[in-house]
Amino acid sequence: MAILLGVDTGGTFTDFVLYARGKIRIHKVLSTPEAPERAILQGIDELQLSAKVKAGEITIIHGSTVATNAALEGKGVRTAFITNKGFKDLLSIGRQTRRELYNLQPAAIEPPVASELCLEADCRTDAKGQSLQALSDKDLQRLVDAVIALKVDAVAINLLFSFLAPEDEQRIEAALRQQADSQLFISCSSYVLPEYKEYERGIATWLNAYLGPLVQSYLQRLQKAVAPSPLGVMQSSGGTIDAEQAGQRAVNLLLSGPAGGLAGANYLAKLTGRQDLLTFDMGGTSTDVAALSLTTDGGLQLTCEGKLGHYPISVPMVDMHTIGAGGGSLARVDLGGLLQVGPESAGATPGPACYGRGGLAATVTDANAVLGRLRPDNFLGGAMTLDLGAAESALDTIASPLSLSRLEAALGVIQLANEHMARALRVVSVERGFDPSDFQLCCFGGAGGLHVCALAATLNMNRAIVPVHGGVLSALGMLAAPRERQTSQAYLRPLPECTEEQLQRQLERLAQRGRGELQREGVTAAAIEQQPSLDLRYCGQSYTLNIPFVNIQQVGEDFHQLHQQRYGHRLNIAVELVNLRQRVFARSKGIELPTVATGTTAPCDTVALYSLGQTTIYQRQKLGAGQRIKGPALICETVSTTLIDNGWVAEVDPWGNLILARLSSASK
């Protein structure tokens, strides 16, 4: 039986989930952002897996933050951008939308690519894919010479209508590979994102080139360190890709870690039969929220309208909203005398003050420690002792200017962090026409369990779930995720003018491309499935809705119904097809969560906590299936702590998940 190891590199901790012979082991180590592979190898060594890794006996699935961090921090490689003559300012101009509508003097945003790195190709293709002006050999050589002279590490090639006619991009790429440095990373828009909207396609192509050498170098180092064990990487879409191929698709890894959390929540939802979840993944640096529903096809909800910082990300990614509120979020008093929490974070170094690594500023984790909600002698299962004195000193720097006691200041930090997360959860529910009370709140991440009851109450939700191993659910989700490719192709035309045969033929071409990549990873043809879909809109609209494709008659009516649900109306005008999409995947070999024995365990301690009163303390690994625990209570485990608030009751299900209910609704 295969041994699987899921590894999620976060801003503060690197999480490990080992699955072998039906059993699960979990582990955490502090991340090493300057060289993420160091923490991974440290964890493998501490789990005593080094010999098995060197023997090729372990399959590793990794969620990487290398692409995300480099994009957010602007630390990609020197990249040239090649586009058509007259369009060199394409990425700088963008969509000319203003982030701050009423700010007459907005801060200037640095162009993605400096003007001197933008090159123009003297060629042109029209909107039907016909060549208006061919790229001459002389102009091609001029481009190659210019790239060599610029001494760049990567090149992004984004020509108009390349999704219809990629030949000019392919000629430029071939010439560069023949004459330029063999280490030059080249990214073509016809490969990265063969869809219309030249700006969004250009940003995706540039990001892929800008981040590609960093991601490729990192994955090659990690591959070499764990060879001959196979290494897979989590994609933003919730499926995995072989590390060798992932090096060419850096832009598809921007939500690598968070996608693992949603894959884990999706697995849990299917296992327990719970239909609709609002999820929040609270780690050390940020919190990711999403709505997950099994009323569609049981898969993850994806979007092609995501954002990362200032940049639109039009490749398929899990539909989530991220805010800078995590356990390591810094608390401060601003110039107006108001308490602020986040988005700045203490990160892994120095981390929260209570970690004893030199941190002086107060964080959400320090506030939880001061309030007694984190047990200093039982953090990470006793592997790490919290410095409560350092946490108290950090909170005093907040309490004094606010004229509050230390405990009052700590509670204020928690309440403000909760409000930030509640606001984020409203973005993916209320702002999309959903009532949060129709969902169950599912928390994960190392800090999630401490805030789940308060968030659910704020949103008037009566049910919540704290998954077993919720502190490392992203790493667990990577083991349950399928191998997957998301392929797409622009195909702009009125839907009534399309025939079933045309669509099936084009969709099959996309499926063949995805199947070929999966088979090169070693997936058998019989194991591969596909899910076709279409991006549709009413004629004249700018944005699309993605509709699963069954047949041409059904897809049009499904579009009208989804438009009515999403926007409250449907129009009696023609529907236009914009993009064809094909999800090609092979299901995971499968993990099975072990069940826990039935029984009841007495609390291991009782303590009086500020704002909660007399609080019982339990060790989660000792709880039996069917046991009910009335709040207030703290449930401690190796990788996280769960707070059962006043007015809530928790029940342990057969797999060890905590099913939470407000007492007023516990009988429902």
Report residue 616 as tokens.
């019982």
- Name the nearest CA neighbour of 549 among 505, 600, 610: 505
**Which CATH number does the domain housing residue 36 bear?**
3.30.420.40
Residue 562 included in any domain = yes
d(CA 357, CA 374): 17
Claim to verify: residue 65 and residue 133 sit in the same structural domain: no
Claim to verify: residue 185 and residue 202 sit in the same structural domain: yes
Q: How far is CA 254 from CA 15, 79, 138, 444, in A?
A: 18, 18, 38, 20
Residue 181 included in any domain = yes
Query: Is the predicted pLDDT of residue 294 greater than 60, yes or no?
Result: no
Residue pair 313/322 in contact (Cβ under 8 Å)? The answer is no
- Any bridge partners for residue 186, and if so which? 155
Residue pair 637/620 in contact (Cβ under 8 Å)? The answer is yes
Ramachandran angles phi, psi of 608, nearest 5°: -90, 120
Give 71-103 pLDDT, tens digit per residue. Answer: 878 889 999 999 999 999 999 998 877 777 888
Claim to verify: residue 167 and residue 120 sit in the same structural domain: yes
Model confidence at 502, pLDDT cuts 50, 70, 90, reads very high
Claim to verify: residue 84 and residue 208 sit in the same structural domain: yes
Q: How far is CA 45 from CA 42, 51, 86, 223, 458, in A?
A: 5, 9, 55, 16, 43
d(CA 529, CA 298): 14
Model confidence at 668, pLDDT cuts 50, 70, 90, reads very low
Task: Give the pTM.
Answer: 0.85
d(CA 242, CA 231): 6
Looking at residue 665, its pLDDT comes to 52
Domain limit, last residue, from 213, 242, 268: 213
Report residue 536 as tokens.
């549709």
Claim to verify: residue 52 and residue 92 sit in the same structural domain: no
Q: Give the pLDDT mean for 299-308.
A: 83
Give 409-422 pLDDT, tens digit per residue. Answer: 999 999 999 999 99
142-148 contacts, C-beta under 8 A, 24 or more apart: 143/82, 143/119, 143/172, 143/175, 144/172, 144/175, 144/176, 144/179, 144/180, 146/80, 146/119, 147/80, 147/82, 147/119, 147/176, 147/180, 147/184, 148/179, 148/180, 148/181
Q: Give the pLDDT mean for 123-147.
A: 94
- Name the nearest CA neighbour of 278 among 252, 260, 301, 305: 301
d(CA 155, CA 343): 33
Give 559-608 pLDDT, tens digit per residue. Answer: 999 898 888 899 999 999 999 999 999 988 778 888 999 988 899 989 99
Q: How far is CA 63 from CA 176, 262, 304, 370, in A?
A: 32, 12, 20, 32
Looking at residue 321, its pLDDT comes to 85
Looking at residue 383, its pLDDT comes to 67
Query: Is the predicted pLDDT of residue 299 greater than 70, yes or no?
Result: no
Looking at residue 295, its pLDDT comes to 44
Residue 390 included in any domain = no
Q: Give the pLDDT mean for 277-302.
A: 77
**Which CATH number does the domain housing residue 523 bear?**
3.30.1490
Do the bridges between strand 118-121 and strand 79-84 make them parallel or antiparallel, or are there none, so unpaired?
parallel
- Any bridge partners for residue 303, and if so which? 317
Query: Is the predicted pLDDT of residue 507 greater than 50, yes or no?
Result: yes
Residues 6+ apart with CB under 8 A from 178: none
Looking at residue 33, its pLDDT comes to 85
Give 35-74 pLDDT, tens digit per residue. Answer: 899 999 999 999 999 999 999 999 999 998 888 888 878 8
Q: How far is CA 392 from CA 285, 401, 412, 634, 640, in A?
A: 21, 15, 14, 21, 21
Q: Give the pLDDT mean for 447-458.
A: 93
Looking at residue 381, its pLDDT comes to 65
Would you give the distance in Å from CA 465 to the centre of its chain?
Answer: 20
Residue 319 included in any domain = no
Do the bridges between strand 306-308 and strand 321-323 make them parallel or antiparallel, or are there none, so unpaired?
unpaired
- Name the nearest CA neighbour of 351 among 18, 27, 28, 6: 28
Amino acid at 518: L
d(CA 159, CA 162): 6
Residue 575: how many other CB atoms lie within 10 Å? 22
- How far the first Cα of the chain sits from its last, in Å, is 42
Residue pair 263/300 in contact (Cβ under 8 Å)? The answer is yes
Claim to verify: residue 136 and residue 65 sit in the same structural domain: no
Report residue 118 as tokens.
């933008």
What is the layout of strands, in order, in the sheet containing 605-609? 605-609, 613-619, 633-636, 641-644
Report residue 512 as tokens.
């063949």
DSSP assignment of 418-452: HHHHHHHHHHTTGGGT--GGGSEEEEESTTGGGTH
Q: Is 36 left (phi over 0), alpha (psi -120 to 50) or beta?
A: alpha
Domain limit, last residue, from 516, 551, 586: 586
Claim to verify: residue 41 and residue 157 sit in the same structural domain: no
Do the bridges between strand 3-9 and strand 58-63 make them parallel or antiparallel, or are there none, so unpaired?
parallel
Residue 576 included in any domain = yes
Model confidence at 382, pLDDT cuts 50, 70, 90, reads low
Give 197-247 pLDDT, tens digit per residue. Answer: 999 999 999 999 999 999 999 999 999 999 999 999 999 999 999 999 999
Claim to verify: residue 528 and residue 565 sit in the same structural domain: yes
Looking at residue 106, its pLDDT comes to 83
Query: Is the predicted pLDDT of residue 495 greater than 80, yes or no?
Result: yes
Ramachandran angles phi, psi of 126, nearest 5°: -90, 180
Query: Is the predicted pLDDT of residue 458 greater than 90, yes or no?
Result: yes
The residue assigned the tokens 């994806």 is 302
Report residue 254 as tokens.
């921007």
Give 470-483 pLDDT, tens digit per residue. Answer: 888 899 999 999 99
Q: Which helix (H) or strand (E) holds 414?
A: helix 406-427
The residue assigned the tokens 């703290």 is 634
Residue pair 528/511 in contact (Cβ under 8 Å)? The answer is no
Looking at residue 351, its pLDDT comes to 86
Would you give the distance in Å from CA 558 to the centre of its chain?
Answer: 28
Q: How far is CA 476 from CA 263, 277, 299, 428, 593, in A?
A: 8, 18, 17, 24, 10
Residue pair 630/649 in contact (Cβ under 8 Å)? The answer is yes
d(CA 536, CA 580): 9
Q: How far is CA 292 from CA 266, 276, 568, in A?
A: 7, 6, 21
Residue 446 included in any domain = no
Q: Give the pLDDT mean for 317-326.
A: 85
Claim to verify: residue 49 and residue 97 sit in the same structural domain: no
Gyration radius of the chain's alpha carbons = 26
Q: How far is CA 170 from CA 210, 247, 506, 510, 621, in A?
A: 19, 19, 21, 19, 57
Ramachandran angles phi, psi of 182, nearest 5°: -65, -20
Model confidence at 667, pLDDT cuts 50, 70, 90, reads very low
Claim to verify: residue 100 and residue 46 sit in the same structural domain: no
Domain ranges, residue 527:
483-586
Domain total in the chain: 4
Amino acid at 378: N
Claim to verify: residue 156 and residue 227 sit in the same structural domain: no
Q: Which residue has the higher pLDDT, 172 or 311?
A: 172
Q: What percent of the chain has pLDDT over 70?
A: 97
Q: Give the pLDDT mean for 542-560.
A: 92
Q: Which helix (H) or strand (E) holds 28?
A: strand 23-30
- Under DSSP, the state recorded for 598 is B
Residues 6+ apart with CB under 8 A from 637: 381, 471, 619, 620, 621
Residue 500 included in any domain = yes
Residue 371 included in any domain = no
Q: Give the pLDDT mean for 124-137.
A: 93
**Which CATH number does the domain housing residue 124 bear?**
3.40.50
DSSP assignment of 370-403: HTTSS-TTSBGGGTB---HHHHHHHHHHHHHHHT
- Any bridge partners for residue 280, and if so which? 289, 443
Claim to verify: residue 92 and residue 206 sit in the same structural domain: yes
